[in-house]
């Protein structure tokens, strides 16, 4: 359950939340008379307001309040799915808005490319990765050896991976050594370990879909964008939640 909203919040906190600068920077904007609330110049950055109803403008440009932010990133190889630089640079370095509450949803290995959702909504992230909701994740893979119909049947039936039972997965054979795989759980190195269990090896891996989200063809490696309203509604709906503000 989401926490209850406070009726009023400090102006500097609201604008910092929206990525318009640090609180110190926002205090400078206020003192310079560059912020208005409901048409009035506000020089006190500690001014309290209801951000969901107040009309806020900075340098004459209206800004709109959002409680949560969601970014779709086309992750390149070489970046780690973490908010800290561990064994490589964090994927958060690729985002335009610097925040300390970004949460990557699920993991992509350092050498894996493709669709990575990054959000500030902890409940949404939890549900999207919890096995209960069985959110599908679709991957494109290139293998060391061609996959077989026997692999398709084994994945569909589900099998044990190092003593742990896997949910059924959908393997689609492509040309040569190319395949697509849909899984509904997110175990450590799962795709690579599944093929290794079948005596094969993944040489290239890319996530192309996550739940209702598809990797846009025009989103280049390393680029990101905010979710559209339609994508946001579909994503929340997939796990039984109402979209945030």
Q: Point out the residues that are catalytic.
A: 109
Label the pairing between strands 70-75 and 103-104. Answer: unpaired
Residues 202-222: b if buried by 16+ CB within 10 A, e if exposed: beebbbebbbbbebeeeeeee
CB–CB of 151/157 below 8 Å? Answer: no
Please spell the DSSP secondary structure of 158-177, one letter per residue: --EETTEEPPP-EEEE-STT
CB–CB of 95/241 below 8 Å? Answer: no
Please spell the DSSP secondary structure of 41-104, one letter per residue: E---TT-EE-TTTS-EEETTEEE---S--EEEEEEPTT-BSSSS-SSS-BGGGG-SS--S--EE
CB–CB of 71/35 below 8 Å? Answer: no
Q: Label residue 151 exposed, middle or buried (CB < 10 Å: 0-12, 13-18, 19+).
A: buried
Alpha carbons 64 and 43: distance in angstroms, whole number? 19
Alpha carbons 185 and 170: distance in angstroms, whole number? 12
- Tokens for 154? 């084994």
């Amino acid at each position: 359950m989401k926490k209850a909203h406070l009726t009023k919040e400090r102006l500097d906190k609201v604008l910092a939340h929206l990525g318009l600068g640090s609180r110190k920077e926002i205090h400078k904007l206020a003192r310079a008379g560059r912020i208005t609330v409901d048409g009035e110049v506000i020089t006190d950055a500690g001014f309290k307001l209801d951000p969901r109803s107040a009309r806020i403008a900075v340098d004459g440009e209206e800004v709109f309040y959002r409680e949560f932010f969601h970014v779709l990133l086309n992750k390149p190889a070489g970046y780690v799915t973490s908010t800290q630089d561990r064994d490589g640079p964090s994927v958060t370095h690729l985002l335009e808005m610097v925040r300390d509450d970004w949460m990557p949803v699920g993991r992509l290995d350092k050498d894996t490319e493709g669709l990575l959702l990054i959000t500030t909504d902890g409940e949404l992230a939890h549900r999207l990765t919890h096995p209960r909701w069985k959110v599908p994740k679709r991957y494109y893979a290139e293998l060391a050896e061609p996959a077989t119909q026997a692999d398709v049947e084994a994945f569909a039936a589900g099998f044990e991976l190092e003593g742990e039972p896997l949910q059924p997965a959908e393997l689609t054979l492509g040309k040569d050594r190319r395949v697509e795989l849909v899984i509904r759980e997110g175990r450590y190195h799962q795709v690579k370990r599944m093929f290794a269990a079948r005596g094969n090896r993944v040489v290239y891996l890319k996530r192309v879909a996550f739940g209702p989200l598809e990797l846009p063809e025009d989103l280049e490696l390393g680029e990101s964008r905010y979710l559209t309203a339609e994508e946001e509604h579909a994503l929340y709906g997939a796990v039984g939640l109402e979209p945030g503000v």
